[in-house]
Amino acid sequence: MKYNIVNEIKLSYSRKGNSEKLVGSSRDAVDVFRQHFDHDEMDYRESFFALYLNQAHKVLGIRKISESGISSTVVDVRIIMQAALLCNASAVILAHNHPSGNLNPSAEDLKITQSIKSASELLNIKLLDHCILTSTDHLSFADEGHL
């Protein structure tokens, strides 16, 4: 039996509502992220988002990477980088929430941030920040010297 069929891969990215939002600080990034997190579930379950920026740090788009349980969520570095490449991002900012209300990064938070940073450096994409959000506050890895 002979197989001559190769699956075609189709990728798409659309810039509907082309944003001119400039992200110049962790506060700017948190403001964007808060518009996309489900406020009703902020204290209930964890979600993880990536914000993609161009060279001038204007927003290209945002993507929910995962949504999961009360104390953790699965984050696949390849999914984050795939979207970054697809929209020609020059920089990425990450965010996830801690339903517990504790702003301190866990060992797993630090580990996944380092993995994403390594992958982004390989692709010449800057990981600018990783923010932890609670319903009332936030912590920026960049501001705290974790990046």
Q: What's the pLDDT at 68?
A: 84
30: left (phi over 0), alpha (psi -120 to 50) or beta: alpha
Distances (CA, A) of 92 to 4, 128, 132: 39, 6, 15
Encode the chain (147 residues) as per-residue pLDDT tens digits. Answer: 666 677 666 766 666 655 678 999 999 999 999 999 988 888 899 999 999 999 999 999 999 999 887 767 889 999 999 999 999 999 999 999 999 999 999 999 999 999 999 999 999 999 999 999 999 999 999 999 988
The reported pLDDT for the residue numbered 1 is 60
